[in-house]
Amino acid sequence: MSGILYGVSVGPGDPELITLKAARILRGSTVIAAPETGSGRAVALEIAEEYIRGKKLLKLNMPMTLDEDVLERAHEAATDEICAYLSDGSDVAMITLGDISLFSTFSYIQSKIEARGYDVRIIPGVPAFCAVAAELGKPASLGDTPLRIIPGGSDDMMPQIEEALDSGDNIVIMKAGNRMSLIKTALADRGLTDCASIVERCGMNDQKVFNSIDEAGEKAEYLSTIMVSNRRARRNYQQAGRIREDSDASAIGADASGSGAIDKDSANYIGQIRETSDASSSNASSSDVYVSGGGSSGAGASDAGAIDEKKVRFVGAGPGAVDLITVRGLEHIKQAGMIIYAGSLVNKELLSYAQPDCVALDSSKMTLDEVIDGIRRGLADGRAVVRLHTGDPSIFGAIREQFDELDKHGIEYEVVPGVSSFLAAAATLNSEYTLPGVSQTVILTRIAGRTPVPDGSDIRSLASHNASMAIFLSASMLDNLATELKLGGYSPETPVALVYKASWPDELVVRTDVEHMAEEAEKNGIERTALVLVGKFLGDSHYNKSRLYAPDFSHGFRKAKS
């Protein structure tokens, strides 16, 4: 029996942000493969160190050349090395930083391995920009404004960066260190300097965080991520007020995990919170949220998750599969004395890891005020409080309004990033969003429905870029979506994947095109709870080789060669 090649995403830098599934696959694989960059430092290997001790290490030679023939021979040689182990029945795990579907070199080997008839499986992970958002304590996508993800490592991407800055969208610029001076100038020219933050080497021991990009120098580490929340996005957020909760999921708008029923004690707890919320003012002290004689609550009622600090943890639960939560996220669940979770979206199996006397509250049955009062009540009870969001909290997760309310009450919070459903969908499809020569920009958005999207951020405008798109909250409006995509510039034959409940046991994938996606969705009974992925990255388009290993390409681990 042949072995399996696993493409394993190990996260941005902190070993605790690796998923349970990635850790399991690494421990179970015979061989660990990693590209040889010639830098003398392999960050991905450092992240995975705890899980790969004693494993056979296979360093894959990736030559620093633009010569297509040389690159082809190198990729064939790397494929030969991997296949030698696969043919003997050994599993090989090839590791990559962040998530494998974003700016990775794995796809060059993957296609060759698949062509030889071997099984390839991709394990999604936490990308750098989600970890950066967590470090900065703000969402990557503010309100309903689209999020664009763009690489900053080469001069030829500057026009796209400048156009994105002009658009008013939320923007992430990854691997931006080498172009800091150009990017800072572009920001300054548009009066956006105060809207940009940067984190260098996120999650690593030498991490640097700059809440304002002005604080950073003209040069930065290669592994630097810039987040830009444009003024228009801020204004739209403020005008929209409180938006719906927790949009980062393939399970949007439906109860993806059952009836959403909660136990009697937890229901009683919510009832008490509602009584108090109706009776108390917005500036009440934390003790005012109590109702005497209340069920399992009350000061000293439980020692579950007792901690000294008064801080709530916003934890990304991942897209659905229990083993796609991070090591740190699961640890917080185990220690929690209260978990407020998105009941229609989060896999309830995660609650089984909590302590027996942990109070679990289903936020799908609560208002924002009740969620905040629940957090205050739990902290006042001496409980460790976890706010469990689906996917990653920073992507359409409606965390900003929760942060604003917590700030009013002087409550500290931190974010533990998670694996977004759009990354799980790419893993299911064995696809990479960012293929050189096909698309280097990823756009996360949704179609306008009952909640309008900001001006200039409609599907038609975004489609004009012909980028790779992941469209949330839109599976029930596919006829309209198809029309807008075509009017924006996508051809009717542009590949589409409908991914229903990515990573859940009843996951379903329908591959189609823009012209036929509504018809295929109806045939397969997909009405909602699905992501819509659009772009040539889903087809068999020829793509260019990555310039990462080209001699004239500098990055933080290697200088360009003349």
Contact 204, 225 (CB under 8 A): no
What pLDDT digit, counting tens, does each position of 90-105 carry?
Answer: 999 999 999 999 988 8
Q: Quick check: 361 and 266 in contact, CB under 8 A?
A: yes
Q: How many CA atoms lie within 13 A of 235 on its CB side?
A: 7
Inter-residue contact 556 to 222 (CB < 8 Å): yes
Number of H helices, E strands in the chain: 17, 20
Spell out the domains of the chain, with CATH numbers in brackets.
Answer: 4-125 (3.40.1010.10), 127-240 (3.30.950.10), 264-419 (3.40.1010.10), 422-562 (3.30.950.10)
Q: Which residue has the higher pLDDT, 125 or 273?
A: 125
The sign of the dihedral angle between the CA atoms of 159, 164, 166, 171 is negative
Q: Which residues of 340-378 are buried (b: 16+ CB within 10 A; e: fewer)?
A: bbbbbbbbbebbebbbeebbbbbbeebebbbbbbbbbbb
464 contacts: CB under 8 Å, gap ≥ 6? 488, 489
**pLDDT confidence band for 551 (50 / 70 / 90):** very low
| Residue 294 predicted with pLDDT over 90 | no
Residue 477 — φ and ψ, nearest 5°?
-130, 40
Greatest mean pLDDT range, 128-137, 223-232, 269-278: 128-137
What's the confidence (pLDDT) of residue 299? 30
C-alpha to C-alpha distances, 44 to 37, 47, 91, 291, 295, nearest whole angstrom: 12, 5, 18, 51, 48
Check: CB of residue 543 under 8 Å from CB of residue 438. Answer: yes
Query: What is the spatial distance between Cα 231 and Cα 117, in angstroms, rounded to a whole number?
Result: 50
Q: Of the given ranges (17-26, 44-53, 214-223), which has the lowest mean pLDDT?
A: 214-223
Q: Which residue has the higher pLDDT, 467 or 241?
A: 467
**Maximum separation of any 2 CA atoms in the chain, in Å:** 77
Residues 550-562: b if buried by 16+ CB within 10 A, e if exposed: bbebbbbebeeee
pLDDT bucket at 225, cuts 50 / 70 / 90: very high
- CA–CA gap between residue 194 and residue 66 (Å, rounded): 38
pLDDT at residue 2 greater than cutoff 60? yes
Of 134-143, 372-381, 428-437, 547-556, minimum mean pLDDT range = 547-556
Q: What does the alpha-carbon distance between residue 536 and residue 559 come to, in Å, rounded to a whole number?
A: 32
Q: Both tokens of residue 423?
A: 């990354």
Q: Is 282 helix (H, G, I), strand (E, B) or coil?
A: coil
| 333 to 327, 355, 397, 469, 504: CA distances (angstroms) | 10, 8, 19, 32, 20
* Among 164, 111, 50, CA closest to 542: 111
Task: Give the angle subtended at the CA of 537 by the CAs of 326 and 171, to the nearest 5°.
Answer: 60
Mode of pairing for the β-strands spanning 530-534 and 468-472: antiparallel
d(CA 164, CA 171): 7
Residue 31 near residue 8, CB atoms below 8 Å: no
Establish how many alpha carbons lie within 13 A of residue 463's alpha carbon, considering only the half-sphere containing its beta carbon.
22
Identify the helix (H) or strand (E) that includes residue 386. Answer: strand 385-389
Q: Is residue 283 pLDDT above 80, yes or no?
A: no
Q: Determine contact, residues 169/145, Cβ cutoff 8 Å.
A: yes
Higher pLDDT, 305 or 337: 337
**pLDDT over 50 at 210, yes or no:** yes
- The confidence score (pLDDT) of residue 546 equals 39
Specify the higher pLDDT residue, 343 or 118: 118
Average pLDDT over residues 7-25: 96
pLDDT over 90 (residue 316): yes
Helix (H, G, I), strand (E, B) or coil at 418: coil
Summarised one tens digit per residue, pLDDT across range 138-194 is 888 866 788 999 998 777 789 989 998 988 889 999 988 878 889 999 999 999 998
Residue 71: the pLDDT is 82
Q: Which residue has the tokens 């090395």?
A: 81
pTM score: 0.84
Tens-digit pLDDT profile for residues 326-365: 999 999 999 999 999 988 789 999 999 999 999 999 998 8
Evaluate if residue 83 carries a pLDDT over 80: yes
**C-alpha angle 446/449/451, rounded to 5°?**
90
pLDDT of residue 557: 39
Q: What pLDDT is attached to residue 262? A: 42
